[in-house]
Amino acid sequence: MSLNPQQRAAVDYCDGPLLVLAGAGSGKTRVITEKIAHLIGRRNLAPGKIAAITFTNKAAREMRERAGRLLRGDAADGLTVCTFHALGLRFLQLEHERAKLRRGFSVLDADDTRGLIKELAPANSKPDALFALQSLLSRAKNDGLTPEQAAARAGSVREHEAAAIYAAYQRRLAAFNAVDFDDLIRLPLGLLEADEEVRAAWRERLRYLLVDEYQDTNAAQYRLIKALAGERGAFTVVGDDDQSIYAWRGANPDNLNELARDYPALRVDKLEQNYRCARRILRAANAVIAHNGHLFDKRLWSEQGEGAPIRVTECRDDEHEAECVAAAVVHLAQQHKVAWSEFAILYRGNHQSRAFEKALRLVGVPYHVSGGTAFLDRAEVKDLLAYLRLIANPDDDAAFLRVVNLPRRDIGATTLERLGELAGTRGLSMLRALQYDALLTPLTPRAAASLVRFGQLIGEFAARAQRMPAADLVDELMQRIGYAEHVAGQVKDAALRERRLANLRELVEWMRAMPSHGAGDLAAQLALLTHGDRDDPGNAVRLMTLHAAKGLEFRCVFLVGVDDTTLPHEGSVEEGRLEEERRLLYVGITRAKEFLTLSYARRRKRFGEILANEPSRFLKELPADDLHRVGHDPAQDAARRQEMASAHLARLAAMLAE
């Protein structure tokens, strides 16, 4: 299919800064990949001079594959297609000395970060207080602030406390030769803004930038774009202010305004033709989002058919809502030959999934809940990645503490605490301290001997890491330490034990498939992977939050919990964030290609009580002519009930026959 005129204009324009306002389902990824091919094939820009930046590894992988198909052969060699954090990692690996890091530095994950903050926070800090501290530190970094700048800006007692912990936290990271996720943006940004030589070198290295999901950038990410693009403004950013739903993690939709102010020559192109949704669905989406303020107006349109009326279902309570949705899923699957994977049940919060899981199980419908424990968050996988980090970086105390007693080596907590104190007196990491007899003498002979053997093991594998693939290294390490036997001994349930052992095998095979340049590089790459990167549900109904659904599409969508305590969420209403809640609904509506149902319950169980609910105020913003309110047309409802009953009986018969 050829590009439409608006897409073609966005692809062809390369003479200045460009903002592409791309509505839902308007082909924005195609515009980016076609523009990459245009820059290389027609503008003769070397692939290595182009960077396409997005927010998930999954999106980057899809973009890279599509660009490769357009260019063919080796024409795309050297092209950078990655996330912001992966670009920051690449920068720091090349500029580690300027960033005051040693080669092979570690990237700490969220668990490591929480552990460090807990150590530095006041004793007996409650989980909520620790989470608030972690959020304040992350927000300071996302604003590009150093600990000193954060302290200068602090106004409240809590902010002063957070700034002090931020300074101690950064000292600890420096001792570990480590960075966290936020540093992958903050440190490159600091160097680019402060060092003219570095800035000039990177602007020459990356001559053109393409940024996807621009509305999701935070303050530091926008400053990074500006620092790399410079006054030339050789960039195309693609975004949609109507889909800005991540303010809670620092995303700033006002970056659209900043772009227009910082680049007066900015050209704005709009992609308004939607290739996904039926017209009724688009009319509903346009009607809802029209109630939000806009810097740039746009209105989606489609050449698709009208589609089925949007159903609005009032239910008695949570369980009744789940039963209605499950019955409708079975009915649509049978009447319209819809595969299970073409259904999505979308909700505001993860806690809402339970009733729908139960209802789908009762009618024998396979389902997959997105947002469960990610593969890389499983304990056995994190253990092996910690070994890999320590092999690559002997100063990574967080990794050391995780694996020094896995499998058990009879090294107690008191011994480790004492070792940490002794290492601190010499300014050494805990692993490096094992090389000094004087630091081991105060420990018990048995503990000291175990620690020495552990240090020798890591040293041996560190030497071998220079000449063997990381997958082979980890495979051999598991055999050497008997890790599979350790896992098997920890789990009594046979099925769970097999799943955990399968995770180990899968990790090794996955490592074999990943491009890397050694243990440290691979450990850092793996640290950047997100939950969605391994979310492969197969042929099953998808259950997920509205936030997780962004970027996806389904033939049949059920938006559930559309009531005035859930969507909009009452906390967001109280805090004046109604527009973002409306954007969430807009995102949910535009996931549907053909069939859309919105449901709400008159009563919900909250905090152990049954409370009355009002339908969402957003329902009044939908075009009445495009809705079918279940219960308002007795004849039509009776016919549908008969169809659904027949479908339900057929499903039960099929289950009994299996």
Q: Where are the beta strands (DSSP E) in 228-326?
A: 235-239, 267-271, 310-315
What is the CB-side half-sphere exposure of residue 124 using CA atoms within 13 A?
Answer: 0
Query: Quick one: tokens of 538?
Result: 């197969």
**Contact between residue 185 and residue 221 where contact means Cβ atoms under 8 Å apart:** yes
Cα 432 from Cα 459, distance rounded (Å): 10
DSSP 122: P
- Number of Cβ within 10 Å of residue 177's Cβ equals 20
Amino acid at 141: K
Assess whether 12 carries a catalytic annotation. no
Amino acid at 39: L
Assess whether 530 carries a catalytic annotation. no
pLDDT of 122 = 83
pLDDT of 225 = 94
Backbone angles phi, psi at 469, to 5 degrees: -60, 150
Q: Which of 6, 29, 54, 415 is catalytic?
A: 29
pLDDT of 604 = 82
**Contact between residue 179 and residue 133 where contact means Cβ atoms under 8 Å apart:** no
The pLDDT averaged over each successive group of 10 residues in the chain (658 residues) is 90 94 91 92 90 87 85 77 92 92 81 83 83 86 85 86 89 83 92 94 94 89 92 90 79 82 93 93 94 85 92 92 93 92 93 88 87 66 85 85 85 79 82 88 89 91 82 87 84 79 80 63 63 63 92 94 90 84 94 95 79 90 92 58 56 52
**Contact between residue 591 and residue 346 where contact means Cβ atoms under 8 Å apart:** yes
Cα 464 from Cα 96, distance rounded (Å): 23
pLDDT of 342 = 95
Assess whether 243 carries a catalytic annotation. yes
Cα 630 from Cα 311, distance rounded (Å): 7
pLDDT of 110 = 78
pLDDT of 653 = 54
Q: Which of 213, 240, 241, 626 is catalytic?
A: 213
pLDDT of 244 = 82
**Comparing C-alpha atoms, which of 333, 323, 315 is closest to residue 359?**
323
Backbone angles phi, psi at 314, to 5 degrees: -95, 130
Query: What are the residues whose beta carbons fall under 8 Å from the beta carbon of 322, sequence distance 6 or more?
Result: 355, 356, 358, 359
DSSP 375: G
pLDDT of 535 = 53
User: Bridge partners of 271?
Assistant: 22
Q: Are strands 609-612 and 603-606 parallel, antiparallel or unpaired?
A: antiparallel
Q: Which of 35, 389, 550, 591 is catalytic?
A: 591
Assess whether 35 carries a catalytic annotation. no
pLDDT of 531 = 46
* Helices 519-527 + 470-481 axis angle, to 10: 90
Measured CA distances, 636 to 110, 181, 281, 325, 547 (Å): 52, 54, 21, 18, 34
Q: Give yes or no for a cis peptide into 253 (omega within 30° of 0).
A: no
Cα 151 from Cα 148, distance rounded (Å): 5
Q: Give yes or no for a cis peptide into 47 (omega within 30° of 0).
A: no
Surface-to-core class of residue 282, CB atoms within 10 Å of its CB (0-12 exposed, 13-18 middle, 19+ buried): buried
Surface-to-core class of residue 396, CB atoms within 10 Å of its CB (0-12 exposed, 13-18 middle, 19+ buried): buried
Length of the chain: 658
**Contact between residue 317 and residue 605 where contact means Cβ atoms under 8 Å apart:** yes
Backbone angles phi, psi at 529, to 5 degrees: -70, 145
pLDDT of 393 = 84
pLDDT of 514 = 62
Widest distance between CA atoms in the chain = 88
Assess whether 591 carries a catalytic annotation. yes
**Comparing C-alpha atoms, which of 618, 646, 501 is closest to residue 561?**
618
**Comparing C-alpha atoms, which of 393, 418, 394, 409 is closest to residue 454?**
409
pTM of the model: 0.79
Q: Which of 7, 28, 180, 581 is catalytic?
A: 28
**Contact between residue 404 and residue 457 where contact means Cβ atoms under 8 Å apart:** no
DSSP 44: -
